[in-house]
Chain A
Amino acid sequence: MDDKVILAIGLDDDSIKIVREVETGIRHEIISTPAEVDPILSEEKVIEGVILVLLGEGIEGYSPDELSQSLKMTFTSVPMAYVSSGHETYLPDQLKWNGLDDSFLLPMDGSDFKDFMQEKVALGTGKQIFKAVKLHDIQPGAELGFDLFIFLPANNKYIRYVAADGAISDEQAERLLKHQLKSGYVRMEDLDKFFDFTAEQLKDLQKGEGISETQRQLQLRRSVRSVFSRIFDTSAKSAGGGKKIVEEATNIVSSFISDSPHADLFKKVQEQVAGTEGGYSHATNVSVFAALFSIATEIGSPGEVAIAGMLHDIGKTKMPQDIADLDESMLTLEQEAVVAGHPELSLTVAREKKLVLSESVQKTIRQHHERVDGTGYPKGLKGEQVSPMAQLVGIADEFDYLTRTVPGRKILSPSEVIQRLVSSNKFDQKIILPIVEIFPMEEKGPGGS
């Protein structure tokens, strides 16, 4: 590994400190001045073995934009990420089009950044990397289709526990439970197979052969819970957007709906929306959460809520930017009237993009801000006038908003958020109570409400 190097260019001191703290075993070359960067840009100085480029806020005379474009031309196939600890100057949206793999605002995105660095270093050095996966509901007899590893801390080693072409035996399943080994590991290249396996498990649970309805619902919600726990495992979602942490859930949902009639449209919608989103993927989160709620509660069609979730706010791209960015609690009456139009505008934008949406998807988008107590918009519908799928998307929308990290606001756990939504009476109890079961109440601390 001596000949490999991580190049860090124009990083601020705080970011450099964090970079050095990530154990990779790889040498860092820190470039901070024009005199150091000029020979690299002009290719007078050729640095061999670069496996990762980290770009900061820039170097005197060179903006991050110029550096990222030029460095990408020099290190075309090397992963590159933008790293900053200056939240006021952080501009990932502008840079993402320059071929950057990712962007991180430190220290909030520290955990994601560490994963990213270790993953890229492993790829660059050919080392095997393993990803932790939740082992809930891997039943005895289940044929995995991928090698499942466990980690032995005493030996600091991964060992294969179940082979890809094998199945978990009763003893293995029991042993895992007994030793409370909730996390297994799969090779990075096998992750897709794990997602497919999880999606198949969810589908099998929905069919619920040979078990009671109550048991089926319990297992479904537990399985979806384990998918959610992956999302909320890291402490609070990062200010940088946290799009990586819903990636797994998105893959599971995509796999789940892959053989449904909605699969092609969902893929098309994802591609369309990706062009309009910034670093923080609200639409992706709402889409995935709503689909998972639908799978767990068997309300509505997961494919259709996933599509509606991706598109629910796309109409905001047609609103004046200064209103679209405002917190809804800060709007004047005139501004509220503009925002109230966004559900219908979302349908207009979908039409312009030639996305053919079913009646029920259109209704879901149109009604996603309606509330059963009549306090929603645009029409102030009440009770059963608000469709169940629209409520799923509405719940997912609020859920994402309330679980987001916002400076100055107390961070709420998923179960706290859901409890808050239950007691608001804005959603039908028949719809929200099953969702509560996905998130069991935690032990309340002394400060609990």
Chain B
Amino acid sequence: MFDPNTIILIVDDMKTMRMKVTKACESLGFKKTLQADNGRTAWEVLQDAKPPVGLVLSDWNMPDSDGLDLLKRVRADQRLKKLPFILVSAESEKAQIQQAVSLGVSNYILKPFTPEMLREKLEATYKAVHQE
């Protein structure tokens, strides 16, 4: 499982959802989270954060720059290309998961989710990332 000191970047255009996801991460013992309200501001955070972000939890559907845009940028960047990246998606986006997989997403989680469901996804992602 990810170390509790892993810095998690939570990306969602809705303030309440950022808060909910932050709370879910905190309940799993993660000590530090950062927030961004779209792909563009998330990218800036990824460039500047010190210590660096260790995991991205990004909503899919956001105005301006969405989760998929952010994923593409992250995977194209030499420094960030192996960063664990989980997309938070709605039921309607399930059919497009294939597209996200081809772009290199580490995992996805459907909302709404409980902290327990998030834990399972994080464990699976950690395992997958460390097998590579």
Whether A62 contacts B90 by the Cβ 8 Å rule is no
B114:A76 contact, CB within 8 angstroms: yes
A171-203 with Cβ < 8 A to chain B: none
Q: Is the interface of A mostly helix, strand, loop or mixed?
A: helix
| A275 close to chain B: CB less than 8 A | yes
B112 close to A66 (CB less than 8 A): no
> How many Å from the CB of A246 to the closest CB on chain B?
22
B114–A69 touching, CB < 8 Å = no
CA of A6 to CA of B92 in the docked complex: distance in angstroms? 28
B14 touches A70 (CB 8 A): yes
Interface check B17, CB cutoff 8 A? yes
What's the least CB distance linking B122 to chain A, in Å? 16
Residue with the greatest number of chain A CB neighbours at <10 A, chosen from B111, B113, B114: B111
Tell whether, in the assembled complex, residue B91 and residue A69 are in contact, meaning their CB atoms are under 8 Å apart: no
B72 interface residue per 8 A CB criterion? no
* Chain A positions within 8 Å of B102 at CB level: none
In whole angstroms, how far apart are the Cα atoms of A67 and B15 in the complex? 10
Check B20 for interface membership: any CB of A closer than 8 A. Answer: yes
Contact pattern, B 39-73, Cβ under 8 Å of A = 1, otherwise 0: 00000000000000000000000000000000000
Nearest chain B CB to A140 CB, angstrom units: 48
Q: Is A442 an interface residue (CB 8 A)?
A: no
Q: A99 CA to B114 CA in the complex, in Å?
A: 13
A63-92 interface mask toward B, CB cutoff 8 Å, 1 = contact, 0 = none? 001110110111010000000000000000
In the complex, the answer to whether A98 meets B90 with C-beta atoms within 8 Å is: yes
Q: A98-B90, A99-B111 are in contact. Are A41 and B16 (CB under 8 A)?
A: yes
Evaluate contact between B92 and A74: CB separation under 8 angstroms. no
Query: For residue B117, which residue of chain A has the nearest CB?
Result: A76
Cβ contact within 8 Å between B17 and A70 = yes
Partner-A contacts on B (CB < 8 A):
14-17, 19-20, 23-24, 90-92, 95, 111-114
Q: Which 4 residue pairs are nearest across A and B when measured between Cβ atoms?
A: A72-B112, A70-B16, A97-B92, A73-B20
Listed A/B pairs (20) with beta-carbon separation below 8 Å: A41-B16, A41-B19, A43-B23, A65-B14, A66-B14, A66-B16, A67-B16, A69-B14, A69-B16, A70-B17, A70-B19, A72-B111, A73-B20, A73-B24, A73-B111, A76-B113, A76-B114, A97-B90, A98-B90, A275-B95
